[in-house]
Amino acid sequence: MIPTIIACGIFLVGCLSPYLNPKSWWWIGFLSLLQPYLIAFILLSFIFWLAAKPILTIIPIVTLLIGINQIKSIFAFRSIKNFNVEKADSSIRIVTWNVGNLNGLSSDNYIKNHSRSEIASTVLNLDPDIICLQEFNHSVTQGPNANNIGLFEKNYPFHYFSKDINKRNGFYQAGSIIFSKLPIVDSGRFQYPNHIKESFMYADIKDGKDTFRIYNVHLQSFKFKDDDYSNFEKIKNTEENPISGGKSIFFKMKTAFTRRGIQAAKVREETDKSPYQNIICGDFNDVPGSYVYMHIRGYRDDAFLQKSFGIGRTYISLAPTLRIDYILPDQNFSVNQFDMIDEGLSDHIMLVSDLSIKK
């Protein structure tokens, strides 16, 4: 019974995540990552005690009822329908994807050099109306092989690029970008506090008589390097002492939790000021149930939760529970369909959703 009580206690503390900004309560970020595993353990405990001593099932039952909002943000319970590539005329199709600097995942230089065109083709095949990309780069001066905006601009006459990094007069530019088939009537970027280079951005888009705003958000990552991933594997395989191997990982995670708390507050502050109905897309680098997710989402819908089933992993490394990329429309939109597409071209999975404005 003691393991069940401990798991229930940790889970309930983790349920405080939406109310504790990791700017001050950084440790709560670690508990957010554990929540899916704790839920699974508590469910198994319920089954065990149902067979062994039914009266004790009251503990996992009450725990799960208290944490129902966490559970509903982590697990989707909708029946899955095949994604229809043929889009309804009344729908707005949105793609969001962290494209990892368009480098692909292969270490082979030939494959890497062709990744940018494969990534573009994967997106274009879906014929979205709006594309939100994170970790995008472009060069004004290096020629066609580095002209990444050119991969899209034939089909998307309107775009806004944040250019968070701009070296040598356009020799290398990087940041987030929004492409649109529909006219962009206004756009801008908001700088995160504490001199962080990255920003988040918006575009106001005209669709007939309607205008809506789309935000493209990219929050602080853990900034793990190859050595960190190697340490993860060594720790999992008990080849290295968890304390010595995990020290660097711990401090990177602590820093990221703290910074994302600050960034999430800024995102919520600005999105609350939107003059239009709006949609938030992007890579939050944080999981459902976390302060970051809950604070930014507010009363918005989550396209995945509306149209999918399961946990919905969007980051392919480290753990099977990392849903860190989102499409969050406000209450003025209906979610018509949703899909996640993995072509092995990025360490993130692409999200696509068809939305419609409620009349």
pLDDT in tens, 144-164: 778 889 899 999 999 999 988
Residue 109 clears pLDDT 60, i.e. is over it: yes
Q: Kindly provide the b/e burial profile for residues 19-38, where b requires at least 16 CB atoms within 10 angstroms of the residue's own CB.
A: ebbbbebbebbebbbbbbeb
Rounded average pLDDT over 306-321? 90
Whether the CB-CB separation of 129 and 203 falls below 8 Å is answered with no
- pLDDT at position 238 is 52
> Contact 101/135 with Cβ under 8 angstroms?
yes
Distance of CA 267 to CAs 32, 113, 157, 295, Å?
A: 20, 35, 27, 9
Helices (H), 80-165: 109-124
Helix (H/G/I), strand (E/B), else coil: 339: strand
Average pLDDT over residues 339-356: 94
User: Any residues with CB less than 8 A from the CB of 316 and at least 6 apart, and which?
Assistant: 342, 347, 348, 349
Query: What single letter denotes the amino acid at residue 332?
Result: N
Sheet containing strand 184-191, edge to edge, reads 184-191, 199-207, 210-218, 277-283, 325-329
Report d(CA 357, CA 212) in Å as an integer: 9
92-224+234-357 under CATH 3.60.10.10, yes or no: yes
Q: Which of the two residues, 186 and 194, has the higher pLDDT score?
A: 186
Residue 319's nearest CA partner among 287, 342, 297 is: 287
Residues 70 and 13: beta-carbon distance below 8 Å: no
The answer, yes or no, to whether residue 228 has pLDDT greater than 50, is no
The ranges assigned to domains in the chain are 2-74, 92-224+234-357
- Residue 76's H or E segment, with its range, is strand 76-77
Q: What is the mean pLDDT of residues 261-270?
A: 94
> For position 204, what pLDDT does the model report?
97
Q: How high is the pLDDT of residue 51?
A: 87
Dig out the tokens for 44 from the structure: 């198994």
- Please write the tens of the pLDDT for every residue from 32-86: 999 999 999 999 999 988 888 888 889 999 999 999 999 999 999 988 888 998 8
Contact 318, 350 (CB under 8 A): no
pLDDT band per the 50, 70, 90 thresholds, residue 244: low
Strands (E), 287-343: 309-310, 325-329, 333-341
